[in-house]
Chains A and B, each alone.
Chain A
Amino acid sequence: MEQLILTVILTSVPLIFAASGELIAERSGVLNLGVEGMMLMGAVSAFAIAMGTGSPILGMFAGAFAGALTAGIFAFFALGLATNQVATGLALTIFGTGLSGLIGAPLVGHAIDGLPQIHIPLLADIPILGMLLFQHDIMVYLAVIMVGLCAWVLNATRVGLIIRAVGDNHDSAHALGYSVLGVRLLAVMFGGMMAGLGGAYLPLVLTPHWAEGMTAGRGWIALALVVFASWRPWRVLGGALVFGGITIMQLAGQARGWTIPSQFLSMLPYLATIIVLVLIARNREFALANSPACLGRIFHAGK
């Protein structure tokens, strides 16, 4: 059983990164549907650098950098040129999927040594709990730290206040003198960096090779997860475990001979997300903070 839980944790890590990054972008009012493209760019860059230098840690940084850079393309069009965010995000996914495949073509067929596991002294020796919590690779810890950081910045700092202000009402934020586009640019780039890290986790840990389109739709799941988490960072952590848990439960159920069609189990997280959306809309208390009111809306200051 603890082996299964361990698998759930690992399979959730890319979702945690990508979703908490997208969460920050969305809280600033930007809906970037290009998560899948950014994850793939992160994945291919991480693998290329890890293979070239022999250092998966450098690969991790490369993934983050590539993700941020890819997000910069989105920002240039959707923020700089005020193109429609939904259409631009879809274009980014097409572009990122293609470019990552192009960059990755010579990397196919190679394997690398992924990120090593770090045994935290003493804690790692606790029975069961030690294995589940204290024997992971560095990115697992980083994922939790980043979620904490997002939560802290959003809720307890002035920067977070500004991000939320820009996302909730860009006109008043602008009137107050904040650079709406500047804030959004940084939020989108941060989202890209996190998506890049999430993508990097695939070739650095989960399957240490590169394959075209290897994210196989996980960027889209991350988008759903942000909503499932009702735009609260810590809920992303829980939500990712739920999404990952259902995936693994479905596989384990088969190995144990369950007969429920796997498609219905796979539907659960999406249906749950819709229910969460209704609950948020019905009960603002439950949501604590609501969805950013300006999500997806174009801002231009030239009035």
Chain B
Amino acid sequence: MKKFFTTMVAGAFAAVSGVSAAVADPVKVGFVYLTNPGDHGWTYAHEVARLDVNKHFGDKVETTYVENVPEGPDAARVIRELARQGNEIIFTTSFGYMDPTLKVSKEFPDVKFEHITGYKRSGNMATGNIRFYEGRYVQGVVAGMMTKSNKIGYLASFPIPEVIQGINAFALGMRSVNPDAEMSIIWVNSWYDPVKEADAAKVHIAEGADILAQHTDSPAMLQTAEKAGVHGFGQSSDMKAFAPKAQLFSSVNNWAPYYISKIEQLMDGSWSTGDGPDHWAGNTWLGMADDYLVLTEFENMPADVKAAAEAAEGKIKGGFNIFTGPYSDNQGTVILKAGEAYHDGNLWNDMNYYVEGVNGKIPG
């Protein structure tokens, strides 16, 4: 027994040192995932992009990911370990990694950190995000035209700016084509709980909704819609396989161009977090025009709706600012007058209301 153990340990040491000796040129890139890539939603989209990175750079990069990392002290340890293993740039792909990433970025000034969806930065920590709300405006246009009952059911995760932006963009799109349509929001209080998402979808349908949209990650809502014969939109990844008749389209998060450009910047030495007093320096926040957000084929809808969707998509790609006045919140208070528009800072700091067409009020 004892001999077995010693041999084993010795063998293991040999194996590991063999590996470290083989490490040569490739730039090591680390990824931290919240769930298993098999969620078919948020993390899956990141995993697809990581594979694209491998394809793009070939043996010039070596990528590593760690999945199922809880948002807390464990995250700091994992990020630190990735930094220590020689990863030169580390992407942390969930909001809850913000403070752990910040903490570790200060311990490893030579490593670059890219935090997804947060707002804190440091000298070697930048942030990246996708303008998810752009796709939701198009969803709103389609939903507004498709709905017969004028009731839209929306599943939301947590009342954070990104989600509120999505709800309001959806409503503005919806109201641009159908002033009578209304949206109800159900907060699932989770990014990922298939059964609860299915329950919430059923509740929406029972309350009369005939179009469903989601800001949660599982395909359960679309499966429920498929069974009930109503329509809906997929999130993060293409969910057509789960609901071939119900899916109108999915807004797909395409992180690959972001990852690739950041790694290229690292390689040619141009990586920076930006400088100057601008609060948004170091933030990559792009959308449909740059293919960060990609809409899948418009399906299961009449030709005129499809044409309107394509027009809306084209308008946004052409630079249309969705949050342009005039519009009011759902209490009737005027938020923006005609000709006024939000800039990025407003989207984060000032959007603490639902626009007209959304029922209820933001919880908390």
Contacts and interface: CB of A to CB of B under 8 A. Distances in A.
Direct contact of A and B (CB under 8 A): yes
A207 B198 contact: yes
B199 A248 contact: yes
Given A105-B38, A209-B223, A212-B36, A254 B189 contact: no
Nearest to B68: A212
Given A7-B206, A209-B242, A251 B194 contact: no
Contacts of B186: 251, 254-255
Nearest to B359: A257
A259 to B, nearest CB: 7
Nearest to B41: A211
Contacts of B195: 11, 202, 206-207, 214-216, 218
Contact of B206 (A3, A212, A247): A3
B270 to A, nearest CB: 37
Contact of B202 (A1, A7, A104, A262): A7
Nearest to B360: A257
B204 interface: yes
B40 interface: yes
Give the interface size bracket for B toward A.
Answer: 35 or more
B200 interface: yes
Nearest to A261: B363
B185 interface: yes
Contacts of B242: 111, 209
A101 interface: yes
Nearest to A114: B227
Interface in B31-67: 35-36, 38-40
B182 to A, nearest CB: 11
B30 interface: no
A111 B198 CA distance: 15
Nearest to B198: A207
A253 to B, nearest CB: 9
A127 interface: no
Contacts of B189: 262
A256 interface: yes
A252 interface: yes
Interface string A251-276: 11011110101100000000000000
Interface of A: 1, 3-4, 6-7, 10-11, 101, 104-105, 108-111, 202, 206-209, 211-212, 214-216, 218, 247-248, 251-252, 254-257, 259, 261-262
20 contacts: A1-B206, A7-B203, A101-B36, A108-B40, A109-B38, A110-B241, A111-B223, A202-B194, A202-B195, A206-B198, A209-B194, A212-B35, A216-B193, A218-B195, A251-B196, A252-B207, A255-B203, A256-B184, A256-B207, A257-B359
Given A211-B194, A255-B203, 10 more contacts: A7-B203, A11-B195, A105-B38, A209-B194, A209-B219, A211-B218, A214-B194, A216-B193, A216-B195, A257-B360
